[in-house]
Every structure is written in structure tokens, then in C-alpha cells.
Amino acid sequence: MSVGIRHDDLRRRNRAMVIAAVRRAGQPSRTEIAATTSLSHSTISAISSDLIVEGILTESKPSEAGSLKRGRPQVGLSLNPEAAAVMTVVLSLNFLSVAVIDYAGQVISEEQRRLDTLTMSRESLIGECTAIVRRRLADPDLDVRSIARIAVAIQGITDTRARAMLWSPITPHTDIAFADIFEDEFGIPAIMENDCNMMAVALRWRDPDRYRDDFIAILLSHGIGMGLVLKGELFTGTHSSGGEFGHMIHRPNGALCRCGRRGCVEAYAGNYAIWRNARQMGEDAEPVADVSDADMRALAAAAREGDGPEREAYRKAGEALGYGLGSLFALIDPAPVAMVGVSAAAFDLIEPALRQAIAQTAGGQHSKSISFDTEPNELPLIREGCAMRALIFVDQEIFAPGVQARSGFGGKNVA
Amino acid sequence: MSVGIRHDDLRRRNRAMVIAAVRRAGQPSRTEIAATTSLSHSTISAISSDLIVEGILTESKPSEAGSLKRGRPQVGLSLNPEAAAVMTVVLSLNFLSVAVIDYAGQVISEEQRRLDTLTMSRESLIGECTAIVRRRLADPDLDVRSIARIAVAIQGITDTRARAMLWSPITPHTDIAFADIFEDEFGIPAIMENDCNMMAVALRWRDPDRYRDDFIAILLSHGIGMGLVLKGELFTGTHSSGGEFGHMIHRPNGALCRCGRRGCVEAYAGNYAIWRNARQMGEDAEPVADVSDADMRALAAAAREGDGPEREAYRKAGEALGYGLGSLFALIDPAPVAMVGVSAAAFDLIEPALRQAIAQTAGGQHSKSISFDTEPNELPLIREGCAMRALIFVDQEIFAPGVQARSGFGGKNVA
DNA sequence: CAGTATTTTTTCGAGGCTCGAAAAAATAGA
DNA sequence: TCTATTTTTTCGAGCCTCGAAAAAATACTG
């Protein structure tokens, strides 16, 4: 462990730094990059002229129209969209979505497809995934060689090495190494990520002011998922994608969860749990396979209508989420929360009980100051997160290569 | 954010790397250091000769007696004990302990003292702490100028900046900035750390094989504390020392906790909770201020004697700890656990219920493979952790200084 | 419209760092 | 005493970043 820094690593790291600065800032001038990286102008000049020659960056016209200043106008540097491309594959319950994204982050082409993921065989699930990717790669407008990376996101648990799905609620099959499958099939490096982690990555890029170093993204969907960024890094478990917030225990020996255990947060706050409680089916009732978004919206509407089992179901969901968040906050301290997914649209029904519960916990000391944001649609977020993950891989591993070991330094999990 | 690497940072980082290699390995030769750091022999030679001239390292006799090999014998490098010294201050319930440690990690001098921390005024608590440090500094055998760092550990919550105790169960007073107080008083840089975090740091140095990158140290004492190392880094909250495992919610609206809330893990597993249950005082009974170690040992003996309220009390403690660990493992995946403190000596009474509970949780899937270790005495561990923390500060900030910003690189929390 | 002030970017030499190769040092075996 | 072997040091080469100065590109000024 703890490897020293070779002399040639210097350039590599600083190249990566410049690329990262451009990706973050959009069209920064060399002077701005020098300021944010605290490297000298000479160094930035040298590195960026290399990157331009290599076709990674391009010079764009003076960044702002209102160049009211005197002096030589700044020349904006931007990512060359044609430098590379990446592909995202998002697999969720009964739905498969693929997109090709250029180096600057714009969607070039996409395709979506309904599947019956719960009943498909292992082979046909894999087959559908590879087929849709193959169709995209066959696009005549696309230079296949430019695709530098495939990022796959799935609802479920993935391994830390980002190679395989270990378990997922959307299919009975386990341990599918999608990353390896795509690499073998297409010869393109691939990674396999957890959907909620990708949501968190995307939120950070969308709104870096709110979602800076520490925040939580919670997916309120059929199941409950979480993506967590701590100290600027995506938080993952020691072996898996981790962060199984939905399966923290809310009530020992409580309601039956989809995972087969009892008393998980999800067994009170997942769509199926809200549905079960609203229909007064009892906590032991087998979770239903799926509840349509329309049904959930109808449920929320009924709950808003007046007091009754629907409203009580949302109250219980809020309570479970509140105690769960309280326990989480006991571990990590409070942080901004983004609620994502269908039931985030019903957050008005969830919030009161949630805040009341969180106030009972150690982490909820300043419960009023904990702020929630809602975003009803998770799919675009997941795709954006995948795209950024893949693009940053290209930035670091392809356009600034040459470092052997990652231990000690090398922010691998930087969201 | 994300600062580039200056040319002069190179030497600084590699110096730090060499010092760290020596601290880890004990008496490594230059060749061994070159191997572990993957720097060239020339570089190691240059850096180590600098460090020797500066009095930071010394050459020791050939590392092993059995130099059966041919060739020129290796020269061991070791830390010069006189290069610097650090002081540790450990403040726990009714007890204050101070030690001076040389640069190589050996205790030079120490002093311990009983206090009535629960009833002392703020001023006298601070006064006792500064007085004991002053007495140690007055030791004629000690060169005061060599003291490069004071590390203070306290049971309770500290801030992420390692300046202040925010809240502690050992005193009614809050927000005492011990680090600032010591710095102002003695002009020596100081840090304020959480006791359980220091336990984790110490475990990692004691047994790097078992406690490598991911593990958990749990203090089973009057209260329940936790120190957590994830991916080789000490885990802290976003604002505070965090990791308040003892105040995760075990049962909503459950037993009364010392913190004033209800249903915390500690309200079932802290010494006062075990005592309360064993004495059948009811879950609403006000927690007692302190239970002596002797009383706890008697309780454990009674529990081992036969079935009864004592045994049931330990069972409840195990259940709470098990569900809590299960929820924690849902977030971070399972990892080795060290149980520290008086009640760790009664772990035989706790373990069955703990394992049974953990098996009910998502994190406990492989509950049999989760391994527990016990260590009944927390104080030496805390002191060792403090010492290592302080020494590593000296290694990095004093003997390899010169880096301005830490963002991006700079492993601040490396245990 | 020419000249001046101002700001950005590039150029160039200096200084430092790591590296590889070769030399020097230090020991065990023959 | 000589040779083989291993560790450590020495030395020149090659990069990299930096600061200063030059070059480039614009706005202002009279």
C-alpha cells in the first residue's frame, strides 16, 4: 500500500485536473483554470495546448458575449464532443433504456423498451440487453470506435468492483456480471452501478450548490433505495454497492418485507407497503409484484381527499422513513435529502409524520433545518449519473492514463 | 476544489511516504522501502539521507540477526525517538489520564487522576486538564520544546475539525474547545478526538491483518460508542465525530435512554440499561449515573449462574446490538467487529441473542461469518490511538510540510 | 485613428525531482 | 585472497513546473 509519486505521474495528474476543470466549468479560459487548480499559467498553457492537439479540448469563442473588459479577451476551452462517446444502459423494473452520449455530455441517440423483467429467463434478460446495445452500435451515424465506455445501472445490489449485479428486485436471477458480459461481447470497457448511486452522482452535477459534499438521495419507488455522498465521495459498502437504507430495521419482527425479512423500512414505505396498508391487507400480506404509477397517484389523491386508511398508510411510511433517517443521521449527521421517484410526488403526505419521527431521534436534533427536495422522475437522473460516471472514466483513465496503482491517492469514487 | 500538484509537492509527498513506511515497518532497509513505495533506490537513498541528517531517522544495526544472505547487509532505518514527542490526554467518566510519548511511540512519562467529572464545574474540569498537562511539561527530564502535538480524546461527540467536544455523557457542560484551550495555554498544536475513533485507530496499528480496511470497534461501557474504519479511512460524520451507533433507534418509543430519547440501542445495551433490566426497574426508570465495573462483573456472574432477570438483561442487550449491527451492515456491509469495554468481558452472554437478531436483518445474511473479538480494557487502546494520531500529524505536517491545500489528495483521515 | 493601458496567453531559461546505469561498499563463500 | 552477491550511493539525463518577460489581442483616450 501507499505508493510514492513518480515524476511522470505529475503530468498525468495535472492533465486530469485540467480536463476535470473544463468538465466542471463548461467553457473556462486558461486563466480561470490556472486560478481553480492553483497551477501556474505556463503549466496550464502547456497542458491545454497538448490537449487541443490531441483533440480532447477545443477552443471556443470568447466565453461571454459581454466582454466589457479591456485586455486580450479570454479564449474559452471546451470539451471536444467528438473526442469520445459513452453508452448508458439503465435497467429497471419492466424497463430497459439505452443512450449514446458524446464527450461533452449531449445525448446522440437513444432507445427504450418495455420488458417483463420479473418473469424473463436469465438468458433472455441478458439477450435483450446485449441486443439493444448492438442495435445502437449499428447506428450508421455512429463511429463505433469512439464508444469508450458502457455504464450499466440497475435497481439492486452491485459489487464494489462495479462488475456485477449481485441481487435485484426486478428479476429472480442473481449474480449477473453485466460488465463482463458487455466487455466480452463488444470489447468495450464497462461498469455496473447501482441506480441510486447514479442518482446521487447526477444530483451533484445538476446542482453542485445544494448537493456539494454531503447529501442523500432516496428513491421512493416500489422499493426504497439510497445513494449517499459523504465528504464528496460516493459512499459504497465494503463489498457491495451498499447503502441499503430500505432494509434497515424499523421495527424488529414487524411488517413483512419484499426481501423476506420483517420490519425493514421498505416494508412500511415502499409502494407495495403503502398499497398494502391503504388496502388494509395486514402487515403479513404478501407484497404485490408491482403497483402502477397511476395507481399510486390515485392512492395519493385519495389520501389528500380526507382522513382514512390511505392517509394512514402514508403516515406510516413517513414514520418509517423518519426513524430510518434518524438512525442514519446518528451515524453520519444530518445532510440535505433529495426524495426521488413516484412517491416523492406524495411527499406532502409523508413529510409530517417523517419530521415528527425524526424529531424523536438523536440525528433529528435540528430536524427543522433538515431540508428535503423532491424529484418525481428517477430515470433521467439515473441516466445522467451513468453518463457522468462513464465520461469521468474516459477523462481519467483514457485521456490522462499512466498511473499504475490507485491506493492512497486517486479519487476513485469521486461523484 | 481539486488543486493541481506543484513540483515541490513531489518531494514532500515522497518524504511523507518514506516516514510512513518506517513507522509501519519498524526497521525497514532502504531496499525494502523502495519496494513498498515503488520509488527508485536512488530516490529513497536521497530522501533517507536527508531525513537522517535532519535527525528524523536513524540507522540501526542490520535489521535481523540471521543475516544469512551473502552481499552487503541491509541497514535498518528507524524513527529517531528524540526527533519529537507528543502528549495524549484521555478524559473519561471520572478519570483523567495523560502520557508523553516519544517519536518512536514509547511512553516516556504518564500520570493518572480520578475526578468527579459529572459534578465538576466547567472551569474546574478545564483547570484539572490544563494542570495535569502543565505538571507533565514541568518534568525536568523532558525537553518541552520537543512536544509537537497534544491529542485529547473524550467520550462523547467532537466536531469534524477536531477542535472541540460538543457534547459528552461524562459532564453536563457542552462545547468545550479543548484543542483551542491547550493551544492557547501551552502554544502546542492540539486536536480533540472521539474516544471510540481512537480505539479504531489503535486496533489498526495493533493488528493490521485483522483490522485492515474495514472494521468496527464498539465500546460496551456505560454508554455505547463506535469507531468505524471504512476503506482504510476513519469514518466521521459530516459535522461531528459521528458514528453514534448507540443512538440508532432500536424500538420506536422504546426504553428511556440516557440521552433523553426513547428506544436507542444504548437504552438496551449500555451498562445502565443492562443494570436496569437486571434489577427489573422498568424501561421508564431514570438511568443510573454510573455502575462500577465490579457491579457489572457481579451481574455477569449472576447471569452465568442461571436463568433469570440478569440473563434476560444481557439477552435484550444482545438483541438491541444485533438489530443495530444489522442495520449498520445494511449500509456498509458486514465487517469484523471488536467489542471493547467492561461488558465485552460478558460477550458470551450477549452473543447468542446478538447473532439471532443479526440473522433477522439484511446485513446479517452471512451472520455466521461475522467475527467478533473482545478486549475488556478500553483505556490503553484509546491512548495508543491518540498517540498514533498525534505522531502521524508530526510525520506529515511537521517533518514533511509544505502543502497548502488538502482537497482532493492528502489522506487526512487515514487511520 | 494612432497611441496607451490592460488583460490573456505563450515563450524561455532556471531549478528540482526522479530515474536508470554504473560505481562503490560490505559481506559470505571458495 | 579472490569471487559472487546484495545493498547503497553517485551521476548524468530527461521531465516538469515556475517565474519573468515577451507577444497577442482588445478597449479606452484624445
> Measured between alpha carbons, how far is B112 from B128 in angstroms, rounded to an integer?
11
Q: Do B331 and A4 touch (CB under 8 A)?
A: no
- Please check whether residues B190 and B236 belong to one and the same domain: no
The pLDDT, as a whole number, for residue B405 is 39
> Measured between alpha carbons, how far is B276 from B279 in angstroms, rounded to an integer?
5
Is residue A61 included in any domain, yes or no? Answer: yes
The pLDDT, as a whole number, for residue B67 is 58
Sheet-wide strand order for A337-340: A233-234, A224-230, A215-220, A337-340, A372-375
The contacts of residue B50 (CB under 8 Å, 6+ apart) are B15
The pLDDT, as a whole number, for residue B406 is 35
Average pLDDT of the residues in B249-270 = 96
pLDDT at B414 over 70: no
Please say whether the dihedral angle defined by the alpha carbons of residues B373, B379, B380 and B383, taken in this order, is positive or negative. Answer: positive
Question: How many structural domains compose chain B?
Answer: 3
Sheet-wide strand order for A107-114: A107-114, A95-102, A85-92, A147-154, A190-194
Are B227 and B255 within 8 A, CB to CB? no
Does the CB of A230 sit below 7 A from strand C? no
Average pLDDT of the residues in B195-204 = 98
> Measured between alpha carbons, how far is A53 from A49 in angstroms, rounded to an integer?
6
Q: Does B341 touch chain A if contact means CB atoms closer than 8 Å?
A: no
Its domain, for residue A126, covers: 83-198+380-398
CA trace torsion B191, B197, B202, B205 (10° rounding): -100
Is residue B408 included in any domain, yes or no? Answer: no
**What's the count of helices (H) and strands (E) in chain A, helices before strands?**
12, 14
Are A178 and A165 within 8 A, CB to CB? yes
- Which of A373, A68, A81 lies closest to A218, judged by CA? A373
Cα B314 from chain centre = 26
- Please check whether residues A145 and A251 belong to one and the same domain: no
- Please check whether residues A187 and A223 belong to one and the same domain: no
Q: Do A4 and B20 touch (CB under 8 A)?
A: no
Is residue A51 included in any domain, yes or no? Answer: yes
Are A30 and A405 within 8 A, CB to CB? no
Using DSSP, state whether A380 is helix, strand or coil: helix
Are B260 and A355 within 8 A, CB to CB? no
Chain-wide mean pLDDT for chain A? Answer: 92
Q: Does A38 touch chain B if contact means CB atoms closer than 8 Å?
A: yes
- Please check whether residues A324 and A389 belong to one and the same domain: no
Nearest residue to nucleotide C24, by CA–C1' distance, is B72
- Please check whether residues A226 and A362 belong to one and the same domain: yes
Is residue B316 included in any domain, yes or no? Answer: yes
Last residue of a domain, one of B33, B55, B79: B79
> Measured between alpha carbons, how far is B341 from A378 in angstroms, rounded to an integer?
45
- The Å distance, CA of A7 to C1' of D16, is 8
Instruction: Say what percent of chain B tops pLDDT 70.
Output: 93
Q: Where are the alpha helices (DSSP H) in A175-243?
A: 178-186, 195-206
Are B32 and B44 within 8 A, CB to CB? no
User: Which residues of chain B neighbour A402 with C-beta distances below 8 Å?
Assistant: none
Chain-wide mean pLDDT for chain B? Answer: 92
- Please check whether residues A167 and A129 belong to one and the same domain: yes
The pLDDT, as a whole number, for residue B409 is 32
DSSP letter at B93 equals: T
Is residue B313 included in any domain, yes or no? Answer: yes
Are A188 and A182 within 8 A, CB to CB? yes
- The Å distance, CA of B10 to C1' of C15, is 14
**What's the count of helices (H) and strands (E) in chain B, helices before strands?**
12, 14
- The Å distance, CA of A1 to C1' of D13, is 30
The DSSP string of A319-378 is HHHHHHHHHHHHHH----EEEESGGGGGHHHHHHHHHHHHHTSGGGTTGGG--EEEES--
Is residue B411 included in any domain, yes or no? Answer: no
- Please check whether residues A387 and A373 belong to one and the same domain: no
- Which of B348, B346, B350 lies closest to B322, judged by CA? B350
* Environment class of A305 (CB within 10 Å of its CB; exposed 0-12, middle 13-18, buried 19+): exposed
- Please check whether residues B192 and B282 belong to one and the same domain: no
Task: Output the CA–CA distances (angstroms, integers) from residue A236 to A197, A201, A230, A282, A339, in the order listed.
Answer: 8, 12, 10, 34, 19
* Environment class of B245 (CB within 10 Å of its CB; exposed 0-12, middle 13-18, buried 19+): buried
A224: β partners: A220
* Low pLDDT (below 50) residues in chain A: 1, 404-412
Cβ neighbours of A175 (radius 10 Å) = 10
- Which of B246, B250, B210, B215 lies closest to B230, judged by CA? B215
Q: Kindly report the CATH number assigned to the domain that includes residue A14.
A: 1.10.10.10
The pLDDT, as a whole number, for residue B161 is 95
Q: Do B39 and A327 touch (CB under 8 A)?
A: no
- Please check whether residues B112 and B185 belong to one and the same domain: yes
pLDDT at B21 over 50: yes
Q: Does B43 touch chain A if contact means CB atoms closer than 8 Å?
A: yes
Name the closest nucleotide to B4, judged by C1' and CA. Answer: D17
- Please check whether residues B159 and B305 belong to one and the same domain: no
Does the CB of A68 sit below 7 A from strand C? no
Element containing residue A154 per DSSP (H, E): strand A147-154
The contacts of residue B225 (CB under 8 Å, 6+ apart) are B155, B194, B195, B196, B218, B219, B243, B245, B246
- Please check whether residues A133 and A275 belong to one and the same domain: no
- Residue range B22-73, pLDDT digits in tens: 999 989 999 999 999 999 999 999 999 999 999 999 998 765 545 567 888 8
- Please check whether residues A363 and A253 belong to one and the same domain: yes
**Apex CA B251: angle with CA B247 and CA B254, to 5°?**
90
- Residue range B366-404, pLDDT digits in tens: 667 789 999 999 999 999 999 999 999 999 999 998 754
> Measured between alpha carbons, how far is B405 from B412 in angstroms, rounded to an integer?
11
Q: Kindly report the CATH number assigned to the domain that includes residue A155.
A: 3.30.420.40
Cα B354 from chain centre = 24
Binding-face residues of A in 313-332 toward B, CB within 8 A: 319, 323, 326-328, 330-332
Task: Output the CA–CA distances (angstroms, integers) from residue A411 to A167, B223, B408, in the order listed.
Answer: 27, 36, 7
Does the CB of A114 sit below 7 A from strand C? no
Last residue of a domain, one of B52, B79, B106: B79
Is residue B404 included in any domain, yes or no? Answer: no
Nucleotides on chain D that have an atom closer than 7 A to a protein CB are 4-12, 14-21, 23-28
User: Which residues of chain A neighbour B239 with C-beta distances below 8 Å?
Assistant: 333-334
> Measured between alpha carbons, how far is B230 from B391 in angstroms, rounded to an integer?
21
Q: Do B360 and A262 touch (CB under 8 A)?
A: yes
The pLDDT, as a whole number, for residue B364 is 67
User: Which residues of chain B neighbour A251 with C-beta distances below 8 Å?
Assistant: 251-252
Which of the two residues, A128 and B144, has the higher pLDDT score? A128
pLDDT at B250 over 70: yes
Is residue A407 included in any domain, yes or no? Answer: no
Of A327-336, B137-146, B207-216, the poorest mean pLDDT is in B137-146
The pLDDT, as a whole number, for residue A403 is 58
- The Å distance, CA of B346 to C1' of C8, is 71
Q: Do B37 and A3 touch (CB under 8 A)?
A: yes
Instruction: For chain B, give the number of residues.
Output: 415
Last residue of a domain, one of B79, B102, B121: B79
d(CA B228, nearest CA chain A) in Å? 10
> Which cell is A220 given?
421512493
